[in-house]
Structure 1
Amino acid sequence: MLDPAWLRAPVWRRVGDAAAGALSLVLPEWCAGCDEPDVGLCARCRELLLPRVRVRSLLPGLAVCSALDFSGVPARVLRAFKEDGRTGLARPLGGALAAAVARVEGAGAEVAIVPVPSSRRAFRRRGYETSALLARRGGLEPLRALSSRGAVADQRGLGREARAQNVAGTLRARGVAGLSVIVVDDVLTTGATLREAARALTAGGARVIGAATVAATARHAP
């Protein structure tokens, strides 16, 4: 039976979700965490994705809650989701993201969940918005308030300063004036993208109360 909430969703979201689901059906299956055959995610690796939320300080007044460390199995599973089209992994990863959102101080029903958009290049390569899909699979209702403008180089391999310069001024917000928001993304690496998202949302009149990610790299260990 079809979910009524899914039927009420905008056409672009239903098409995107359907395309993401189709990808997971046609790809060969093996555990994304340990390569065990004939299973998308084995029980042991699924257990390693259970959230252990930690709070990182990114900017004065902006805390980031991350559910997992970006290493070992969580890192492998996130890479499989983002780079190999393994969209069936969005549900356990989305659950971890939802747990991180719940730990943001001030989180509640009146707070808008705003995903960081994929770059145009990344969206063309994958065919889906990673952060928005993770949020939906985690039971959240993301508000697509941020959009990319201009060209953004691939962030992989860039250092802290290069990442900050690469994303500076590349996001803009719309329809957020007066809203309290939590920014969500997949991985906290240097924090450059989340800082740019917070800047754009604040410029648009929103109050950014915090951010949440599925995972954080070792440089952001508390």
Structure 2
Amino acid sequence: MTAHTLVRESLLDAAAILLPVRCAGCGRPDRTLCDECEEALRPAAHVQLVDGIRVWSALRYDGVARRVLLAYKDGGRTDAARALARALRCAIAAAQRDAEPGNGDAALLPVLIPSTRAAWRRRGYHPTRAVLARAHVLVPPLWGALRLSRQTADQAELTAGERAANRAGSFVASPRLSGRDCLIVDDIVTSGATIAEAARAIRAAGGRVSAAAAIARTPLRNPGQAQGALSGRTGNAACFPVSHRGDAHYGGPKGASDPP
């Protein structure tokens, strides 16, 4: 065990006494995430096509990842944001690398999927926004670039067709996106209806949709009939660790992407 690891473990043990927690992935006491669940959340970039858009994600929405995301979004476990930021950073970095031309100077503008008023009232914060702010990406997101033109129902219990109808025409994009190469950012990709609607709104405002990135993807039950057909997997090579100082690849100064 290195000195750095020893100090880190000692601080975690001290924090567990003062602020007792359980692992958000398995319920084991004394850690935000135990070592096993931390390992289960190791990101691996994966790409699929959704309505012609290359959508990058870093985790499968099942097992530990599903439990941690649910605990974070609906269980008040905001302490899990660090691990989720690492996953989102992986997906964004992979999308950026995939979109770069030979000279590597085309950075994509992150555009966040907005939250409904009902979800905001229930949680008190926008989960994906908080994770994206912590990911410290190179290009600061244009906060508020997408907004809801009408409130939509919770997508969780809807079929793919109902999700598309629920989202259709629900987003309006800022004219500030005109002429920009945009990267749509969401938490979980399921049917792709939200990504498709966001892309429609961005294009209507004159923007270009280069790709999308998400923390996790729902495993496809019938890939042959789904909106997005799997087109490839890059593996861990496209992922980079989150830099808590903001100085890793595709990183920027700490706070550069924090919401106002």
TM-score tier (shorter) = 0.7 to 0.9
How many residue pairs get aligned? The number is: 196
Maintained 8 Å contact 1:176/1:206: yes
Alignment of 1:202-217 (within 5 A): 202-217=203-218
Mean Cα deviation higher: 124-133 or 191-200: 124-133
Q: How much has 1:142 moved relative to structure 2?
A: 2.1
Could you say which residue in structure 2 is the equivalent of 1:57? Answer: 49
Could you say which residue in structure 2 is the equivalent of 1:89? Answer: 80
**Root-mean-square deviation (Å):** 1.8
Deviations 1:118-140 (A, max 9, x none): 11111111111122111111112
Say whether residues 1:48 and 2:49 are aligned partners: no
Mean Cα deviation higher: 212-221 or 157-166: 212-221
Q: How much has 1:59 moved relative to structure 2?
A: 1.6
Question: TM-score if structure 2 supplies the norm length?
Answer: 0.72
2 CA distance for matches of 1:110 and 1:56? 21
Could you say which residue in structure 2 is the equivalent of 1:20? Answer: none
The percentage of aligned residue pairs carrying the same residue is: 43
Mean Cα deviation higher: 122-131 or 74-83: 122-131
4+ residue stretches of structure 1 with deviation over 2 A?
107-110
Deviations 1:158-207 (A, max 9, x none): 00000111111111110111111100111001111111111111111111
Could you say which residue in structure 1 is the equivalent of 2:116? Answer: 119
Paired residue secondary structure (1:118): coil
Return the letter of the residue paired with 1:117: P
Alignment of 1:188-203 (within 5 A): 188-203=189-204
Question: TM-score if structure 1 supplies the norm length?
Answer: 0.83
- Bigger radius of gyration among the two: 2
5+ residue gaps, structure 1? 1-26
Say whether residues 1:69 and 2:60 are aligned partners: yes
Alignment counterpart, residue 106 of structure 1, candidates 92, 96, 99: 99
5+ residue gaps, structure 2? 1-18, 224-228, 231-260
Maintained 8 Å contact 1:117/1:131: no
Could you say which residue in structure 2 is the equivalent of 1:156? Answer: 156
